[in-house]
Amino acid sequence: MKKIKVSLEDITNEIQGFYDYKKWHFLTLNGLALEDNKLEVQWIFSKYEALDEIVIYYAEIEYKDIIASIVDIIPSAIISQRELVDMFGVQVEGSSKGLYLDEDSLQAPLSGCSI
């Protein structure tokens, strides 16, 4: 498992340079509530036909930041992005709310502030 730290602005460029759709398999987008009102966003990839080769790109952001979308590079990321928006209450370019949560349910359940 390899972890690479990137800044929020570079993420599309980094993934554009790294991602070869015949070699790497996009697993998911993951969020992790940190202390001091911060959030770690992880883009997790695994290699086809290799033994346990996982690469995680991660960025530390604040909740008010807008996360760049990677749908142009990886079309299937759209659903992970919508989930991230719902569960953490952050903004991702071009992803709307309401995949899981209704208006009267608990908003942003996994973000640190609501615990």
By CB under 8 A, residue 2 contacts other proteins: no
By CB under 8 A, residue 94 contacts other proteins: no
Find the shortest distance in angstroms from Cβ 111 to other proteins.
Answer: 10
Q: Is 87 helix (H, G, I), strand (E, B) or coil?
A: helix
By CB under 8 A, residue 8 contacts other proteins: no
Tokens of 77: 């990321």
Give the CA distances from residue 83 to residues 38, 51, 73, in Å, rounded to whole numbers and listed in that order: 18, 28, 18
Return the number of the residue (36 or 52) whose C-beta is nearest other proteins.
52
Tokens of 85: 């928006």
Find the shortest distance in angstroms from Cβ 13 to other proteins.
Answer: 20
